[in-house]
Structure 1
Amino acid sequence: MSTTKQTIAFFGATGGCASASLAAALRDGHTCTALARTPDKLRNLLTTAHSIPPSTLDALLTIHAGDIKKSSDIQKVLVPSANSGVLVDTILFAVGGTPALQTSIIKPITLTDPHICEAGMSAVLAAISELEKRGVSATKDGRKPLMVVISTTGVSSKKRDVPLLLYPLYHWMLQVPHADKKKMEELIFNDNGAHIQDFVVVRPTLLTDGEPQGISKVRTGWEWGVKKEAELGPTLGWSVGRRDVGEWIFRECIVKGGWEGKCATLTY
């Protein structure tokens, strides 16, 4: 378990899981950066929904206005201080699309941008390459950043990770969003240390809102992302809360560690 305060970059920070992770990091005294189309929206979310004092935001959080597909915007988030010359220790990528209905029996649900996760991850990796050209190529410890990414169950090519009754929802209605998540994961699996030191893919089952139950109630399973070794396998379940997912990510992946190289399934 790391006791050193980290620098953490958040993409998709206004989402329920990521905002909970960000709030937990701020409460614990970590220095954070975030990309947001509307910075005031994120700031208000943290102060109202997560009760983070404005003084904590002023001291520990820098929010950059920008676009997840624009390299120059992303680069600002990846460097914790303009003159530091180093990359953040950890990147939490939680970008997601906005669902939209379409007149298709085969694919009834799409996204307003069907490739947002894939394109966003590509842009983050490209931004790391651009920073390296400018001499900013490592964290303060001389390593590449750890990438933690929020994906979903239902995209594994190995064992079944959703209950059979959810198959129609996952493999019929959610084909387009899941195809985007799968492409995003493939970019990470194929990185081979070019941009990041390692990764953790977090695959929660159906996400719910409401009061958190606590991470002690979160059941986990896992499989390797790239390695071909023995693995626990996924844990099947119906749902899990966004706030508990966010807290779990912060406590287990960012602070505790030991999930590197794994795809973790989360459910109650």
Structure 2
Amino acid sequence: MSTTKTFAFIGATGGCTNSCLAHLLLSDLGYKAIALARTPQKLIDSLLRQPGITESIIADKLTIIQGDATSVSDMKKILLIPRNGQGNTTAYGEKSPGAVVVDGIVSGVGAVPSFEKGKLLSVKFDNLKITEESSTTLITALREVYAERDQQQEGKKPILAVVSTTGITEKDEKGDVPCLFKPGYHYLLATPHKDKKKMEAIITSAENQALFKAVVITKPAFLTGDGNLSTAKGLAKIRIGTEEDPAVGYFIARADVGEFLWEEVCKKEEPRWFGKKVTLAN
């Protein structure tokens, strides 16, 4: 059985997850990736804008499944890979006795904001329940995969890494947002933050956490940039905290969050952040 690892990516067209995927594709570790995308060409174009990514690299290391993150049948297609890591990639997710679950899942799904024309400080979002819905879909799809293949008896479960946000702490938890940002978070981002909070509740329930080897929730400060690797400041300039001692800051580049996901989660067998809510700020 091949030791090559395969990670599934959800919401990888842009931002933090795109950056993480780009690092994987550029690495020499032999990792493979499988991504779910409503518009595959959009994902390909976003990756080709990353420095160093070529069409041949994409063809060699990435399988793209066209589908929707709220469809259980589509989600199941990225959760299974051929046992030996080879074979017809278009058959991923099909009911083949040789397929096994992926080694990890990276999700950066979230509502996409846009400013309403002619309205000052008025922001609208494309889907205010997308994070909750995609998380529920992932849980349902993985349960079905286990049930169909008795996968859990083989002892292999994937790591799950998701991109959440600061600003959704409970009253009894330490704050992770600078005071100057609190009004803006409360006014402009309250609804999408509720969606992220529901996502966290879904994947951290005891019943659902048992589906994974480990869950890592990244909670970045206000995101900047488009995730292009050229905009990264580097891990050395990232401040990292946890629920107990959050890293409070104003901004962080999406490219830096992607690098953290790659270096500190995907590449590690037993990362120190397993089971943690990790705050990130520059």
**TM-score after normalising by structure 2:** 0.84
State the SS of the aligned residue for 2:149: coil
Partner AA of 2:252 in structure 1 = V
Deviation at 1:47, TM superposition (A): 1.7
Give the C-alpha shift of residue 212 in structure 1. 1.3
- 1:109-153 CA-to-partner distances (Å, cap 9, x unmatched) read 4532211100000001100111122115259x7321111000000
Map of 1:99-248 to 2, 5 A cutoff? 99=113, 109-135=123-149, 137-138=151-152, 142-157=155-170, 158-192=173-207, 193-209=209-225, 211-223=231-243, 231=244, 233-248=245-260
Cα gap change, 1:129/1:13 in structure 2, threshold over 3 Å: closer, same or farther?
Answer: same
For residues 156-176 of structure 1, the C-alpha deviation after alignment (integer angstroms, 9 at most, x for no partner) is 221100100000111121100
What's the offset of the Cα at 1:203? 0.4
Identity %: 38
Match of 2:215, as an amino acid? F
Counterpart in 2 of 1:43?
44
Map of 1:62-81 to 2, 5 A cutoff? 62-81=63-82
Gaps of 5+ in 2: 83-91
Tell me: CA distance 1:5–1:50, structure 2 relative to 1, closer, same or farther (3 Å).
farther
Cα offset, 1:51, TM superposition: 2.8
CA distance in 2, matches of 1:125, 1:50: 34
Instruction: Report the counterpart of residue 252 of structure 1 in structure 2.
Output: 264
Aligned to 1:226: none
2:256 corresponds to which letter in structure 1? D
Partner SS, residue 95 of structure 1: coil
Q: 2 CA distance for matches of 1:113 and 1:147?
A: 23
In 2, distance between residues paired with 1:108 and 1:243? 26
CA RMSD of aligned residues (A): 2.2
Structure 1: segments with no counterpart, 5+ residues: 224-230
Does the aligned pair in 1 maintain the 2:22–2:50 contact within 8 Å?
no
Native 8 Å contact 2:73 2:141 kept in 1:
yes
State the Cα deviation string for residues 174-217 of structure 1 (Å, max 9, x = none): 10010000000000110444422220000000111172111111
Question: Conserved in 2, the CA contact under 8 Å of 1:208 and 1:240?
Answer: yes
Pair 1:86 & 2:100 matched = yes
CA contact (8 A) 2:11 2:108 kept: yes
